[in-house]
Structure 1
Amino acid sequence: MDILNIIIFFTIFFLGASIGSFLNVIVLRTKKDEKIIGSKNRSYCPSCHGNIRFFDLVPIFSFLFLKGRCRHCRYKIPISYFLIEIATGTIFLFIFLYNYYITKLDNNLVIITLFHYTIASFAIIIFLYDLWYGEILDKFSITLLIIVILFELIFFRINIFETLIATFIGFAFFGIQFFISKGKWIGGGDLRLGAIMGAILGYNIFIALFLSYFIASIYVIPTIYRKYIKKEKVKSEIPFGPFLILGTFITIYLGEKILEILY
């Protein structure tokens, strides 16, 4: 590996970490109903409300240099900020490496990579918001659905009929559950997320659904055991959006390999 590749990889990782930091801000400020961008909306410490200087906003490095604390009041910054930056940087680097080295895209490398970055960014927002607040907002899910369909129509010229069928399958799959349980099993946001999965994956949505439920079971089964067998007080409501996003992400990049193994 030459020095140029190292520089490129680090740049992509750092760019992803920077975007991850911004996505975290979007989630937090959306919940507080604050403006995301604006001269009067600079980053601030949630404890002392002091403005954070630009040199303390360098992703990953600022957290390490300040030892995870506010420079002014020494408030302990949530470790999630640091982890989100690392995770997003890693995801962005993985997407680039996958598209460049594994699928060996040439003419469409930039377009498809940007498309995947867009999906990843919205997915991270939805993942975090549902994980923290138990809700999938229309402003994020519907916007992503529109972007996915338009992007595929304009750049990939896919069969719109097949895309709409897969989108309907994803929506209907959760819609039936929502109707039967009267909203007790899943939330309305899962219906829209199912539609997004169909639009992105096509008929591979079935792989993503299987993976999502399998991953969820790894978490749910121990929770059920603790609640009903050991009689512990545990949170019974579990946001399903993060599991759907994980299943979708795995299917995008490993779906074909999974099909090869099965068939």
Structure 2
Amino acid sequence: MNALTQLHTGSTGALLLSAAFGLALGSFLNVVIVRLPGGWKVFFASVFSACPQCGARIRWYDNVPLLSFLVLRGRCRACGRPIAIQYPLVELAMAVITAWLFSVYGPTPYFFLYTVFFALLLAVAVIDLRLRQIPDSLVMIGCFSGIIGSLCTPLPGWTDAMAGMVFGAVVPLMVTSTYEWLRNKTLIGGGDIKLLGMIGAFVGWQPLGAILLYSALSGVVVAVAVKLAGKPGRLPFAPFLALGTLCALFGPNFFTTFKGLP
């Protein structure tokens, strides 16, 4: 047992460190979520953060993940307007994810692989929720990362990862194209189809059926609730694909013997 494994199995300090890493990663994801839809030119326009409402530059001591939000009581120091709740929620979500992944996998390739996976899922889900769009660049980065990661880990393995990426995109594309031809209605968007391909690149082809099932069921439940609340409108599907992925990987799987992440 090496020193890193001992740190993983016996130290709460390692978990706290992994959570701190998640907070920092969540802060970066917020930058991605806000800037990337405007294009790479906007993304790299400035290394400094600024208040989206008054444009005031945010100093480093007001940009500490989660802590600054609490100290400032959720308001910009310059203009006093509320800071979007998205920022602390994304940071907290990534802190929980990285701490949990480290508690399961320790400092192994799986920890880094699935940290990238869940970070991309979270970013895509929030962007789709905010703007009803899924950046192709994030999906492409995810597909590339999933395939490269599969070369470094026994599961799902590069053949299953390639099959997952292809089946995840091609099969839904065929189904939705047929549905659109028959009913003249869109079943799911092109961005969602590409996202399924990215998910397949990380988890393989086996859980894709369960992921679609859980995603569809959760989407229907929320759509019915929204309609009953008197707020009709088309819901973004990426958040439900992210939720369906979590349910399929860690909940009962009715399609295969796949039991989740290794």
**TM band (smaller chain):** 0.7 to 0.9
Task: Return the alpha-carbon distance in structure 1 between the equivalents of residues 97 and 172 of structure 2.
Answer: 27
The answer (yes or no) to whether the contact 2:142–2:198 under 8 Å persists in 1 is yes
Which of residues 21, 45, 53 in structure 2 aligns to 1:47? 53
Task: Return the alpha-carbon distance in structure 2 between the equivalents of residues 73 and 150 of structure 1.
Answer: 45
Task: Return the alpha-carbon distance in structure 2 between the equivalents of residues 151 and 184 of structure 1.
Answer: 33
Match of 1:209 in 2: 212
The answer (yes or no) to whether the contact 1:170–1:194 under 8 Å persists in 2 is yes
Match of 2:150 in 1: 152
Deviation, structure 1 residue 37: 4.5
Match of 1:61 in 2: 67
Q: Structure 1 pair 111/261, CA: closer, same or farther in 2 (3 Å)?
A: closer
Match of 2:247 in 1: 250
Q: Residues 74-113 of structure 1: matches in 2 within 5 Å?
A: 74-100=80-106, 109-113=107-111
Q: Which runs of 5+ in 1 are unaligned?
A: 101-108, 227-231
The answer (yes or no) to whether the contact 1:45–1:52 under 8 Å persists in 2 is yes
Match of 2:120 in 1: 122
Q: Structure 1 pair 50/218, CA: closer, same or farther in 2 (3 Å)?
A: same
Match of 1:196 in 2: 198
Match of 1:219 in 2: 222
Deviations 1:58-104 (A, max 9, x none): 1111111111111122121111211111111111111112324xxxx
Task: Return the alpha-carbon distance in structure 2 between the equivalents of residues 162 and 85 of structure 1.
Answer: 32
TM-score (norm 2): 0.82
- Letter of the 1:220 partner, please give it: A
Q: Aligned residue pairs: how many?
A: 244
Deviation, structure 1 residue 157: 7.7
Task: Return the alpha-carbon distance in structure 2 between the equivalents of residues 85 and 163 of structure 1.
Answer: 29
Question: Which one has the bigger helix percentage?
Answer: 1
Which of residues 156, 171, 174 in structure 1 aligns to 2:172? 174
Task: Return the alpha-carbon distance in structure 1 between the equivalents of residues 232 and 86 of structure 2.
Answer: 20
Task: Return the alpha-carbon distance in structure 2 between the equivalents of residues 164 and 85 of structure 1.
Answer: 31
How big is the alpha-carbon RMSD for the aligned residues of Structure 1 and Structure 2? Answer: 2.7
Task: Return the alpha-carbon distance in structure 2 between the equivalents of residues 138 and 7 of structure 1.
Answer: 37
Q: Structure 1 pair 121/158, CA: closer, same or farther in 2 (3 Å)?
A: closer
Task: Return the alpha-carbon distance in structure 2 between the equivalents of residues 169 and 155 of structure 1.
Answer: 21
1:240 is aligned to 2:237: yes
Q: Structure 1 pair 166/7, CA: closer, same or farther in 2 (3 Å)?
A: closer
Instruction: Say which SS state the counterpart of residue 190 (structure 1) adopts.
Output: helix
Task: Return the alpha-carbon distance in structure 2 between the equivalents of residues 249 and 219 of structure 1.
Answer: 17
Deviations 1:197-256 (A, max 9, x none): 222222121121221112212201223445xxxxx3x24211111111111133334467
Task: Return the alpha-carbon distance in structure 1 between the equivalents of residues 215 and 31 of structure 2.
Answer: 27
Q: Which runs of 5+ in 2 are unaligned?
A: 1-9
TM-score (norm 1): 0.82
Task: Return the alpha-carbon distance in structure 2 between the equivalents of residues 212 and 174 of structure 1.
Answer: 13
Task: Return the alpha-carbon distance in structure 1 between the equivalents of residues 86 and 33 of structure 2.
Answer: 12
Match of 1:104 in 2: none
